[in-house]
Amino acid sequence: MAPDGQILPPNTYDAEPIPEAARAEIDRLLSSGDLFRYTAAKDAPVALLEEEFAALLGSRYALAVSSCSAALFLSLKALDLPRGARVLIPAFTFAAVPSAIVHADCTPVLVEVGENYRIDLEDFAAKLPDASAVMISHMRGHTSDMDRIMELADAAGIPVIEDAAHSLGTVWGGRNIGTIGKVGCFSFQSYKLVNAGEGGILVTDDPEIAARAVIMSGAYEENWKKHPGFQNSFCHWQNRLPLYNLRMQNLSAAVIRPQLPEIARRVADGRRNHDYMASLLNGSGLLSVPAALPPEERAPDSIQFNLSGDWTDAQALAFQRAAKQRGVSVQVFGLSEGNARAFWNWQFLGQTPDLPRTRAMLMRACDVRLPARLTIPELDVMANALIGAARSARA
Ligand SMILES: *Cc1c(COP(=O)(O)O)cnc(C)c1O
């Protein structure tokens, strides 16, 4: 708050404090020096996290690793795809996703994304026959039509990996996002719902995929025995797969575990904030927030909206600047220099395809962080700043 009692726009990059309960466990780990997940014979914090996370999601297996990108990479390796296999991804995602595919010696194939940030099902269906796997990024927590995707992929016998990095707590037709495809991958990087600085986890019901992923994550010798819920399918893979050493360490698990009981509250608050802000922005006639799909219950910690009507690039940039002057940081995905979510910046792919629908969307789609801890008065200030900036940019 300013001295005159006025509410200022919040810093949306500030994190929520880590629950107090983490301290005792971190102290214990620091005094014992027991930081490696495989030192203890059982009940290491990482193994407990896996058990708790699998139960939370309703999955048979969970494997905690160093990042969601590592989880995506291991998912592809666990599927044992041939070198160069084509993997479909929505063209609206974070650069780390096509990077994980390149890392796994596969070829990312970009699929068009519509104005509502979801994958274009026509383009998806057209590109599916040449694909060996599908990696669906629920980008910014926007869920693509998982019923249609699973129907098409199942009919073609093509496995689906869910990149649920930003979708922890999202529900689709009563099912947890991340448990619909063969594998689901989540992130604990600081800008996600659960913050460990870095970290990731994958969930699956498939014992072979789980076994392969566990070994390749770095469960050397007989360390797979320290993973909860695993049977002897592991013996078969021992020493027959490379060890990529993408393990999580105990300190990360100690930071994550006390946040698991906070998820439900963060999801409820995030959804309340998002929907409140969406109604204000939609009322402006200048900014429009695409609706959730009917089966989708979202868990947002950011808001995306489109500049509605005909805006020039100059007006869109003026909007970005005017919002900044009013204290709200907003990015037009396609207009911020070098944005890692704009597919034409993924030069590591060599040639990037021409995807006019996705490009048009990215040139007018805006991104604002909206952490769950924000209050309604803070949201009012932010919405007024955004709407004021839009009016001035259009004037
Ligand atoms: C954050 C994010 C990732 C990468 O997660 P890391 O844990 O940082 O590797 C991948 N996909 C999406 C959609 C993300 O939001």
pLDDT value of residue 290: 97
pLDDT value of residue 237: 86
pLDDT value of residue 231: 67
Q: Ligand 1 within 6 A of 96 CB?
A: yes
Pocket test for ligand 1, best of 72, 76, 189 (most atoms within 8 A of CB): 189
pLDDT in tens, 86-111: 999 999 999 999 999 999 999 999 99
Distance of CA 240 to the CA centre of its chain: 31
pLDDT value of residue 232: 66
| Atom 11, ligand 1: residue with shortest CA distance | 165
Under the banding of pLDDT at 50, 70 and 90, the label for residue 235 is confident
pLDDT value of residue 13: 85
pLDDT in tens, 118-141: 999 999 999 999 999 999 999 999
Under the banding of pLDDT at 50, 70 and 90, the label for residue 376 is very high
pLDDT value of residue 2: 65
Question: Does residue 228 carry a pLDDT above 80?
Answer: no
Distance 309 CA to ligand 1 centre (A): 31
Pocket test for ligand 1, best of 75, 187, 194, 304 (most atoms within 8 A of CB): 187
Q: Ligand 1 within 6 A of 301 CB?
A: no
- pTM of this prediction exceeds 0.95: yes
| Residue 208 token pair | 């072979």
Distance 300 CA to ligand 1 centre (A): 15
| Atom 2, ligand 1: residue with shortest CA distance | 165
Q: Ligand 1 within 6 A of 99 CB?
A: no
Q: Ligand 1 within 6 A of 250 CB?
A: no
On the 0-12 / 13-18 / 19+ scale of CB atoms within 10 A, 222 is exposed
| Atom 13, ligand 1: residue with shortest CA distance | 139
Which of the residues 77, 192, 226, 324 is marked catalytic? Answer: 192
C-beta atoms surrounding 41 within 10 Å: 8
pLDDT in tens, 9-40: 899 888 889 999 999 999 999 999 999 999 99
**pLDDT exceeding 70 applies to what percent of the chain?**
98
Distance 6 CA to ligand 1 centre (A): 36
301 in Cβ contact with 371 (< 8 Å)? yes
| Atom 5, ligand 1: residue with shortest CA distance | 68
pLDDT value of residue 1: 56
Indicate which atom in ligand 1 lies nearest the CA of residue 70: 9
pLDDT in tens, 46-89: 999 999 999 999 999 999 999 999 999 999 999 999 999 999 99
Domains in the chain with CATH codes = 20-261 (3.40.640.10), 263-394 (3.90.1150.10)
* Residue 127 a catalytic site member: no
Distance 199 CA to ligand 1 centre (A): 10
Distance 168 CA to ligand 1 centre (A): 12
Question: Does residue 233 carry a pLDDT above 80?
Answer: no
Distance 137 CA to ligand 1 centre (A): 9
pLDDT value of residue 3: 62
pLDDT value of residue 330: 96
Mean pLDDT of the chain: 95
pLDDT value of residue 5: 73
Q: How far is the C-alpha of 47 from the C-alpha of 250, rounded, in Å? A: 9
| Atom 3, ligand 1: residue with shortest CA distance | 165
